[in-house]
Amino acid sequence: MIGLGLRLTLSGGREAAARLAVITSAVALGVFLLLNTVASVNATNTQNARYAWLNSGVQQAGAQNSDTQNSSTQNSGTSQPQGGGTAAAAPSDPMWWLASPDNFDGTTIGRVDLAATGPHSPVPPGIPALPGPGEYYASPALGALLRSTPADELADRFPGRQIGTIGPSALPGPDSLIVVIGHTPDQLSHVPGARRITSIMATSPSDCGDCSIGTNSNGMALILSVVATALIFPVLILIGTATRLAAARREQRFAAMRLIGATPRQISVIAAVESTVAAVAGVAVGFGLFFLLRPLVATIRFTDAPFFGSDLSLTATDVPAVALGVPVAAAIAARIALRRVRISPLGVTRRATPRPPRIRRVIPLLAGVLELTYFIGRHPKTTNGQIAAFIPGMLLIMAGLVIAGPWLTMVGARLMARRTGHPSLLVAGRRLSDDPRAGFRAVSGLILALCVTTGTVGIITSLVAERGIPKSSPSVSSALVADYFRVTRSGELTSTEPALPQTLLTALHGVTGVQGVLEIHTNPLGTEDPTAFGVPQRDAARFLAGLVSCAQLATEPVFGGCEPGARAASVTPTLDTIGLAYGPPWPSTWPAAGISADRLAGLPITGLVVTTDGSRSAIERARTLIATAYPTEQPPATIAEQRSWQHRAIAGYQQLADVVIMISFPIAGCSLAVSVAAGLSERKRPFSLLRLSGVPLGVLRRVVLLESAVPLLVVSAVAIGMGFLAAQLFLRAQFGYSVRAPGGEYYVIVLAGIVLSLGVIASTLPLLRRITGPETARNE
């Protein structure tokens, strides 16, 4: 029977070849997506392991208390609690270590300052030896940037000269910007945040609870799995649609075999052979696509950095699991699809109108809504708890749309049939009412794509609106902000950094594009922060303001102004929080402070704000001047860069969402085209009889168009509404936000998707003339 099945599959004419090609393509696409998901999970773990050495400042087990005497929480760039992860064997000579972030043109630079105390100090991966004082190693991408950028914009921040390049074993990604700078122990031991370490960390951040640099690979694996699920849903629908091509013809063939003596088992074997051949071919093509396009997939930023091509690897269990699992699943699906033929050889001819779907099909959809609603006001505090709370509700809504779709289609079709007397509307409405499952099946992939797109855009748009930079103040985003304060237990702001020397002020004002310089000083007056921005209300009374010169504040009007006649003002010490949606509103005028200009100028500064015109040259030259003047402090960052750090995960999810949108819509379109074409092929005899009875071809074309357009439009409206509702429930439960109206690009995507879908349906209509001729209506 296997040989007969192969002969029927490979020698069945153009129809069989077309069906085989479509199923093969669908399986290949599914295998390609599945392999990339598995490989991306493996790549995330591999990439994360290369972050390990950057967390070497984490307190290592067994370290002496004296090692932490010079530690500080001020912008060290790495967490420093007791008892970090495991590390490699400790050499005999300790080393001073400080890891901190820097920026260039919105891109983060990982900076590691170190100082050896002896010849046996540990050496980080990727470099042959430790750099000496006045020497540094740079990653290839950073080295190229240093060569192509004026020194006063970047290179002047790094003391000394470059002596080598950091190798791939120490780089999370091929475009990582990392620099390792050498110092003397005397220089680095007095820098706040510097630590003395005895070995280089070798534990992946995923397995080190105290490590702050790296990716939560466990969470990313879950996110990638959810993305894969969102992509696989349309692919599975496409595969299912493709396997139904010429289903009636095959059922008739198998029923005839039953009549001449074939057993149900033999029929099952023949059906399984046909699907297995297509699945095996699809698996082979899918693996070929994976290896062919792997360099391109590696450039997609699933994490903070793109992968090296070699990171996208498959394990010894991944390959057989996919290579064997997909054909087996296809064979099982074929066996289930032809269950009617196995029951009775006359089952094909004894067809009746299927039972109409019941309203209970909406229960899973309502269950998903109720599940998300339950967590409003009671969302879990841990990340794993939140994932367990929200993911099931999202999946229930997606599955509920597929389950409820036929019932919604039936309701819409009945309303259309009752309220019209037009022949095409009446015929289409009655046909959809009789078999709404078949009508909805054609558009189910597009419905899921619309729901996923709507929910994703709703969430991302709302988060950006709540947490992003206000569009009404574009100059805020390009303002450089440096924070030099420490907060005592009593809430007092302290700083040891002196006010800007006149030479630095002159140099900053001399940079083309710098619009204003504002120094925020310590507050000996004890006046309170006028906004208590970002501080719990119970602590607001003891959170002190910063003091600024009204003359300097006048150069930066975007941050407010002084009262008339005032020389100094009390402001919030954290001006980089401007525009955030939480907390009290910003005052347009800051309260006056009773302090003389001379006394104010002699106070230490807790912060610095430099407004620019947004040009790269102005920002980077000003940043370099400040970083050089305050070498023991973290370089300043623009407010846009700070928001980017805070919402880097959002940006990553947005990119994954874009991938889902770009892939799911074309897949849904292919599924729609195959389904409509298959439906025409299955109904060519009834349509031929209608043409012979005098029904115009135009009426038949409108019937075909309406049979797909009605479920498309009816259920699309529900899917879009459920997408926004899911986004609203998630935002209220997780953040307390309300969903915001998306931008114009969303409406363009949705409208284009629906219009193109109608275009796909219309493109199949010319088939009616060819397949509904008189010869089709004749009896065999």
The residue behind tokens 């973290």 is 634
| 95-104, strands of its sheet edge to edge | 161-165, 135-138, 178-182, 107-116, 95-104, 195-197
Model confidence band, residue 315 (pLDDT cutoffs 50, 70, 90): confident
Residues in the chain: 780
Q: What is the mean pLDDT of the chain?
A: 78
pLDDT at 552: 94
Query: 378-433 pLDDT, tens per residue?
Result: 877 765 677 677 878 888 888 898 899 889 888 888 887 777 667 777 777 777 78
Q: Which of 332, 334, 267 shows the shortest CA–CA distance to 1?
A: 267
Percent of the chain with pLDDT over 90: 22
The whole-number average pLDDT for the span 107-133 is: 91
pLDDT single digits (tens) 468-512:
555 545 678 889 999 888 776 665 667 788 888 899 999 999 999
**pLDDT, position 85:** 40
Tell me the Ramachandran region of residue 158: left when phi exceeds 0, alpha when psi lies from -120 to 50, beta otherwise. Answer: beta
Q: Which residues pair with 562 in a beta bridge?
A: 590
Long-range Cβ contacts of 351-358 (<8 Å, 24+ apart): 353/434, 353/435, 354/434, 354/435, 354/437, 356/410, 356/433, 356/436, 357/406, 357/407, 357/410, 357/436, 357/437, 358/407
Tell me if the pTM is above 0.75: no
- Statement: residue 70 has pLDDT above 90: no
Residues 582, 583, 586, 591: what is their CA dihedral angle, to the nearest 10 degrees? -170
Residue linked to tokens 């229930």: 396
pLDDT at 402 (0 to 100): 86
pLDDT at 648: 62
The token pair at 150 is: 């004026």
Confidence (pLDDT) at 625: 94
Q: Are 733 and 372 in contact, with CB atoms under 8 Å apart?
A: yes
Neighbouring-strand partners of residue 520: 607
DSSP H or E segment with residue 187 = helix 185-189
